[in-house]
Every structure is written in structure tokens, then in C-alpha cells.
């Protein structure tokens, strides 16, 4: 597409909305980069804090900002932009639901591993104390 088309569409907006839209797009880029990093690291290393950070950024920042861009009627949206925004919304909704259950499953798995490790530690301490007496 032509950049002049976007300049014309953007220049027709009120100045306050231009500033708001520019700010939202910049914040979305920053949030998306940090969100993807947290999801990547959390998935590879099975770290709950990173996965929880990914999920919280998705739920409380990325999803509302994407809703604003998708459902805003104050500026002209091209048909292919509407389609891409709808696909992005679908992926975000899937990420919210799948992310919740993933964080819950990994938390339960790590809690079970911790309990098993504590049981082994207690068993080792008991057998050592019995041996020393």
C-alpha cells in the first residue's frame, strides 16, 4: 500500500486522537516484544514467573490495546486491516485461555516436584540419623 494513503487517513483525525493512536501503537510494539520474550523464555525453561508475566501482559495490556485498535470507529480502517485485527484478536483470546491452563499445569507440576524432593530429603535425613545412632 501507499504511505500517502496512510498519511491522508491519519491527517483527517483530530489531533488528540492522532496522539492517542500513535501512543497506543508504540506501547503495543513495546509490550509485544517483551510479551513474546517472556513467553519464549518461560516456555523453554518452564519458569512460572516468566509465563505468568506473559499471560498478564496479554490479558491486561495487549488485549485492551488490540480491542481499541480493532473496534475503534473514529478512523477509517481498510478491509484487510479489519481482517488482520480480527485474526490478532482471535490469537489473543486463544493465548489468554491456553496461557491460563498452561501456567496452572506447570505450577502444579513444579509443586509436585518440590513435594517429592522434600520427601526424598526427609527420607535421607531419617536414614542418616538411624544409621548414626
pLDDT, tens only, 5-57: 667 777 878 888 888 888 988 999 999 999 999 999 999 998 999 999 999 99
Res 73: pLDDT: 79
SS3 56: helix
Q: What is the mean pLDDT of residues 102-119?
A: 93
Q: How far apart are CA 15 and CA 10, in angstroms?
A: 9
Amino acid at each position: 500500500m501507499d504511505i500517502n494513503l496512510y498519511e491522508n487517513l491519519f491527517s483527517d483525525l483530530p489531533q488528540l486522537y492522532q496522539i492517542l493512536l500513535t501512543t497506543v501503537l508504540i506501547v503495543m510494539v513495546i509490550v509485544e516484544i517483551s510479551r513474546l520474550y517472556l513467553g519464549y523464555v518461560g516456555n523453554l525453561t518452564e519458569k512460572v514467573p516468566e509465563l505468568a508475566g506473559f499471560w498478564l501482559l496479554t490479558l491486561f495490556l495487549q488485549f485492551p490495546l488490540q480491542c481499541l485498535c480493532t473496534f475503534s470507529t473514529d478512523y477509517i480502517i481498510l478491509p484487510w486491516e479489519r481482517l488482520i485485527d480480527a485474526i490478532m484478536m482471535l490469537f489473543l483470546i486463544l493465548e489468554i485461555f491456553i496461557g491460563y491452563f498452561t501456567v496452572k499445569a506447570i505450577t502444579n507440576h513444579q509443586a509436585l516436584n518440590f513435594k517429592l524432593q522434600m520427601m526424598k530429603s526427609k527420607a535421607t535425613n531419617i536414614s542418616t540419623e538411624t544409621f548414626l545412632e
